[in-house]
Chains A and B, each alone.
Chain A
Amino acid sequence: DSGVTQTPKHLITATGQRVTLRCSPRSGDLSVYWYQQSLDQGLQFLIQYYNGEERAKGNILERFSAQQFPDLHSELNLSSLELGDSALYFCASSVTENPYNEQFFGPGTRLTVL
């Protein structure tokens, strides 16, 4: 158990819908990272927050947004969902804003868009 929690574990929804994925980092970790894992693209970095501020942005679509709250939990919002958004979404956390410090990954949220 990494100490990072993600909810829900599974999510099934329809095209065009909007969903919110939630992540609670390890106690004491200030950075949260979001990744998308799909069979064709592999593990892709989406976005990083550090202590409530956006720190780095990767291949995140404009339909996707994220935020980190004062209690350091984070939410990833996915809107106007398409079939291709079906994937495993991971959250990871680390102590500092440096992504090269060990990142601790949650178990992921599996999103299925029908």
Chain B
Amino acid sequence: AQSVTQPDIHITVSEGASLELRCNYSYGATPYLFWYVQSPGQGLQLLLKYFSGDTLVQGIKGFEAEFKRSQSSFNLRKPSVHWSDAAEYFCAVGAYSGNTPLVFGKGTRLSVIA
């Protein structure tokens, strides 16, 4: 079964600084990978997903993520963080072999300071 680890529970960055949120997955084959964002008081929203092809994936709100098979990672990046990016970020993995439910990581809370 697949699993996801988000090593950082909470990250604080300054507005305008770059951001990288870490995600490591465990799965025997090529996974389907996702990043969702949960703004305060709201449900989750899909930022981007990787199924195959180019390992650098562009998403909404200026985010991108890179799939690195050798490191079993799918880290989320943004070159310049805005105060409105403060939220909880979830990495999720799906199994290539079939339509099994998504498995979510425990999330990383991002705080943005002036």
Q: For the complex, is A16 an interface residue (Cβ under 8 Å from B)?
A: no
Instruction: List the count of A-B residue pairs having beta carbons below 8 Å apart.
Output: 57
Complex Cα spacing A103 to B34, Å: 11
Interface residues on A, range: 20 to 34
Q: How far is the CB of B46 from chain A (nearest CB, A)?
A: 5
The docked-state distance in angstroms from the alpha carbon of A97 to that of B99 is 8
Of the 9-residue stretches B20-28, B67-75, B100-108, which lies at the interface with chain A?
Answer: B100-108
- B99 engages A98 (CB within 8 Å): yes
Q: How large is the interface on B (under 10, 10 to 19, 20 to 34, 35 or more residues)?
A: 20 to 34
CB 8 Å contact bits of A85-103 with B (1 = contact, 0 = none)? 0000010100001111011
Task: Pick the residue among A99, A106, A108 that contacts B99 (CB under 8 A).
Answer: A99
Distance (whole angstroms) from the CB of A29 to the closest CB of chain B: 14
A interface list, Cβ under 8 A from B = 2, 4, 33, 42-45, 48, 56, 58, 90, 92, 97-100, 102-108
Q: Contact check, B45 vs A105: say whether CB atoms are below 8 A apart.
A: yes
Contact A45 B99 (CB under 8 A): no
Task: List the 5 closest A-B pairs by CB distance, nearest first.
Answer: A105-B43, A42-B106, A43-B104, A45-B101, A105-B44
Cβ 8 A contact of B44, one of A45, A90, A97: A90
Q: In the bound complex, do residue B94 and residue A99 qualify as a contact, i.e. CB atoms below 8 Å apart?
A: yes
CB distance from A61 to the nearest CB of B (A): 16
